[in-house]
């Protein structure tokens, strides 16, 4: 296998060098033709036609220095132009026989000579300067296009699919964690490829295609490769964009070529990543892309035409299922839709363990705590966290990753690296401290909020000057109205603390206000948590697995009422946060002072100060205070 890869690498290098040579040759030839054309234009700009009468007049006035006599014209150089580096050449036709003209020139003392142009010489000039360079350039362009794509002019109709065998992928279901339901759906495909008779005996048919749907980074491509690895069959991997070219009909031809190869190597698996590149819904109202639509039509007909009993399985992945053409999702094509969602708490623990298999971990590592701190993270995020932790351990001179490395890597992925060169002034440090403590204190004073894990005022590279890390005690799939209202109060606690302590506000709450507005608007338009609109749905979520953008589906008058309702919810949450901080001002001041001194405090330290102040308040004023 290594020799084959080495041979392919050498062939690729030779082809690349060949392409570079062709490109250089074309550039040099084009430059030569351009220079030749430029010189021709310069020569043409220094030539001027005159009448024969003007020539005779100049001859009688002794203005002519020399004359060149050709077969059909006279080329005249004036005496005034003779010394010039770029003299103007005047030309005119011949109106008398050569002997008479020669005698006239000789009598006038003008230097002249005759030039005989042979037809073979002219043919040679045209051939050398025009025909051969043009033919050479056309041939070079043809060879370049041929070498770039390989096989045929520009590789039209040749599939760019790469075939992987099990030993090349090296991926099985053991390498995929956090997606047990998805793996269960795909195990049937693997079992059919291993023992098809068990299914055909009862009359069952294997689904022709399975569509993997989910957010980016959840492991859709990894699952497809794991199916091929488990089944030990050829694995054709392509992207949807590989089919679409500039020329109409190329994509359809490549689809035909792909399925022809698949039938030759059946049983096998075809995997098309980013299916939405060719499977987008056909809409004639706003025009369309002929090449993409022809490619989609060919894919639909091929999936109808092949025999699934031969063991050809088509897997595809997308994170935009809502824009796919309905014809591609009907039974008989992509029969199954396998949802590859973001992992839950147990799934995140399993994913962390998979990625940590080849990393040295010490006894302090607790994956459950890391999984709780990474709610909403996908597989690629968790893999990045493990890698960042390993890099931190090496940077700190340790041979194994510990729990502090993992928590620091979580912060790096979420908020970026600490900016050690950004030094805040004393006033800004105080403002940021009160802002962050405002968030944490409002969270601690409410019943349905997540506990505080860490508070820091160390600036991060992603723009934050500080943040509060809250870690849920358990995985939540639903949020009540009370929990969302308390979450809003926590988000606005930073702004409330600024207004309470400094009697002014800063720009530091911009992200808090943005997130709080999104939650409040969702309460009104999506969750039916207000009396004004009741259970009416007023927004539709588009691109659920990507941006999750919400689009209003109501009139302008209703939209204005929605804005008023959102403002009322946010004002209530802000007033609640301001009231809680006002009642616990002493606690706010003490924790902020401690944070200014330490820059970073843990949730345990925060709660100790909080409990001490509350216990002191319950005990009454001290003797010193009296």
Q: Which of 107, 50, 42 is nearest to 77 (CA)?
A: 50
Contact 488, 516 (CB under 8 A): yes
Contact 183, 173 (CB under 8 A): yes
pLDDT, tens digit, 9 for 90 and up, residues 87-108: 777 778 776 666 677 777 777 7
C-alpha triplet 488, 489, 492: angle, nearest 5°: 85
pLDDT of 149 above 50: no
**So what's the pLDDT on residue 618?**
66
Burial 567-577 (b: 16+ CB within 10 A, else e): eebbeebbebb
Question: 122 pLDDT band (50/70/90 cuts)?
Answer: low
Q: In what order do the strands lie in the sheet with 209-213?
A: 162-164, 235-239, 268-273, 312-318, 209-213, 334-339
Highest mean pLDDT among 269-283, 572-586, 601-615: 572-586
Of 217-231, 241-255, 513-527, 558-572, the poorest mean pLDDT is in 241-255
The token pair at 378 is 């996908």
Q: Which of 509, 511, 382, 332 is nearest to 435 (CA)?
A: 509
Q: In what order do the strands lie in the sheet with 452-456?
A: 467-470, 452-456, 600-602
Exposed/middle/buried for residue 233 (C-beta within 10 Å: 0-12, 13-18, 19+): buried
How many helices (DSSP H) and strands (DSSP E) are in the chain?
Answer: 24, 16
Residue 394's CB is within 10 A of a number of other CB atoms, namely 12
What pairs with residue 313 in β-bridges? 269
Inter-helix orientation angle 426-444/603-619, to 10°: 70
- Which residues have C-beta within 8 Å of that of residue 291, sequence separation ≥ 6? 244, 245, 246, 247, 248, 249, 250, 251
Q: Which of 495, 389, 503, 408 is nearest to 456 (CA)?
A: 408
Q: What's the Cα-to-Cα distance from 329 to each of 56, 239, 244, 303, rounded to whole Å? A: 89, 18, 20, 11
Question: 569 pLDDT band (50/70/90 cuts)?
Answer: very high
Active site residues: 436
pLDDT of 126 above 70: no
Question: 426 pLDDT band (50/70/90 cuts)?
Answer: confident
pLDDT of 235 above 90: no
Report the alpha-carbon distance of residue 509 to residue 565 in Å, rounded: 21
Respond yes or no on whether the N-terminal peptide bond of residue 267 is cis (omega within 30° of 0). Answer: yes
What pairs with residue 77 in β-bridges? 66
pLDDT, tens digit, 9 for 90 and up, residues 30-70: 777 677 677 666 666 667 778 877 878 887 777 787 887 77
pLDDT of 567 above 90: yes
Q: Which of 92, 99, 96, 95 is nearest to 114 (CA)?
A: 99
pLDDT of 497 above 80: yes
Report the alpha-carbon distance of residue 87 to residue 90 in Å, rounded: 10
Tell which wins on pLDDT, 576 or 128: 576
Tell which wins on pLDDT, 72 or 209: 209
Kindly state the percentage of the chain with pLDDT values over 70: 77
Contact 224, 269 (CB under 8 A): yes
Question: 82 pLDDT band (50/70/90 cuts)?
Answer: low
Contact 74, 67 (CB under 8 A): yes
Report the alpha-carbon distance of residue 476 to residue 580 in Å, rounded: 26
What pairs with residue 468 in β-bridges? 455
Q: Kindly list the structural domains of the chain, giving each domain's residue range(s) and its CATH number in brackets, ordered by start.
A: 162-339 (3.40.50.300), 345-415 (1.10.8.60), 426-619 (1.20.58.760)
251: helix, strand or coil: helix
**So what's the pLDDT on residue 179?**
84
Question: 470 pLDDT band (50/70/90 cuts)?
Answer: confident
Contact 258, 159 (CB under 8 A): yes
- Which residues have C-beta within 8 Å of that of residue 547, sequence separation ≥ 6? none
What pairs with residue 75 in β-bridges? 68, 91
Tell me the DSSP string of 209-271: EEEEE--TTSSHHHHHHHHHHHHT--EEEEEGGGT--SSTTHHHHHHHHHHHHHHHS-SEEEE
The distance of Cα 488 from the centroid of its chain, to the nearest Å, equals 33
Q: What's the Cα-to-Cα distance from 472 to each of 369, 447, 601, 604, 607, rounded to whole Å? A: 10, 13, 18, 15, 16
**So what's the pLDDT on residue 39?**
67
pLDDT of 155 above 50: no
The token pair at 293 is 């639509």
What pairs with residue 452 in β-bridges? 470
**So what's the pLDDT on residue 591?**
93
Q: Is the dihedral of CA 71, 77, 82, 85 positive or negative?
A: negative
């Amino acid at each position: 296998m290594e020799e084959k890869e080495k041979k392919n690498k050498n062939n690729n290098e030779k082809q690349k060098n060949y392409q570079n040579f062709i490109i250089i040759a074309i550039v040099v030839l084009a430059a030569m033709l351009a220079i030749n054309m430029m010189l021709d234009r310069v020569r043409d700009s220094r030539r001027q036609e005159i009448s024969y009468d003007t020539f005779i007049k100049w001859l009688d006035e002794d203005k002519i220095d020399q004359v060149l006599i050709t077969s059909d014209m006279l080329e005249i150089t004036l005496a005034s132009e003779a010394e010039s580096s770029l003299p103007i050449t005047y030309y005119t036709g011949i109106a008398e026989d050569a002997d008479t003209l020669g005698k006239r020139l000789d009598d006038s003392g003008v230097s002249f000579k005759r030039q005989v142009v042979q037809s073979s010489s002219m043919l040679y000039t045209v051939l050398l300067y025009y025909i051969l360079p043009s033919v050479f350039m056309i041939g070079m362009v043809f060879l370049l296009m041929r070498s770039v794509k390989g096989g045929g002019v520009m590789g039209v109709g040749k599939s760019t699919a790469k075939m992987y065998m099990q030993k090349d992928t090296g991926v099985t279901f053991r390498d995929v964690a956090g997606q047990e339901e998805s793996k269960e759906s795909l195990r049937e495909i693997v079992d059919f490829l291993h023992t098809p008779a068990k299914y055909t005996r009862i009359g069952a048919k294997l689904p022709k295609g399975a569509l993997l749907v989910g957010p980016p980074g959840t492991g859709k491509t990894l699952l497809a490769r794991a199916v091929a690895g488990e089944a030990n069959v050829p694995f054709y991997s392509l992207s949807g964009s590989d089919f679409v070219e500039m020329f109409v009909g190329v994509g359809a031809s490549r689809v035909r070529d792909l399925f022809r190869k698949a039938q030759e190597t059946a049983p096998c698996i075809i995997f098309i990543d980013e299916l939405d590149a060719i499977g987008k819904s056909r809409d004639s109202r706003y025009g369309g892309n002929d090449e993409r639509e022809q490619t989609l039509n060919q894919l639909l007909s091929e999936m109808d035409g092949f025999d699934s009993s031969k063991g050809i399985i088509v897997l595809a992945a997308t994170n935009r299922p809502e824009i796919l053409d309905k014809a591609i999702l009907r039974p008989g094509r992509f029969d199954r839709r396998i949802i590859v969602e973001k992992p839950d708490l147990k799934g995140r623990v399993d994913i962390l363990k998979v990625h940590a298999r080849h990393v040295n971990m010490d006894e302090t590592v607790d994956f459950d705590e890391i999984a709780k701190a990474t709610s909403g993270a996908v597989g690629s995020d968790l893999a990045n966290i493990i890698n960042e932790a390993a890099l931190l351990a090496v940077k700190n001179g340790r041979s194994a990753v510990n729990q502090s490395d993992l928590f620091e890597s979580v912060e790096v992925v979420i908020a970026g690296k600490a900016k050690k060169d950004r030094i805040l002034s004393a006033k800004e440090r105080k403002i940021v401290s009160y802002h962050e403590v405002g968030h944490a204190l409002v969270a601690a004073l409410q019943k349905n909020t997540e506990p505080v894990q860490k508070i820091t005022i160390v600036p991060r590279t992603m723009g934050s000057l500080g943040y509060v890390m809250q870690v849920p005690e358990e995985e939540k799939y639903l949020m009540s109205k009370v929990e969302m209202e308390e979450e809003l109060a926590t988000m606005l606690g930073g702004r409330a603390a600024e207004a309470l302590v400094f009697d002014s506000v800063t720009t530091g709450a911009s992200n808090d206000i943005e997130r709080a507005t999104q939650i409040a608007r969702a309460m009104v338009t999506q969750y039916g948590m207000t009396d004004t609109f009741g259970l009416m749905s007023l927004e539709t979520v588009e691109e659920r697995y990507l941006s999750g953008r919400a689009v209003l589906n109501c009139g302008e008058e209703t939209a204005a009422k929605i804005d008023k309702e959102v403002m009322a919810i946010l004002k209530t949450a802000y007033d609640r946060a301001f009231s809680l901080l006002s009642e616990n001002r002493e606690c706010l001041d003490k924790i902020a002072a401690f944070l200014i001194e330490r820059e970073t405090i843990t949730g345990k330290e925060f709660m100790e100060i909080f409990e001490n102040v509350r216990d002191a308040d319950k005990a009454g004023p001290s003797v010193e205070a009296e």
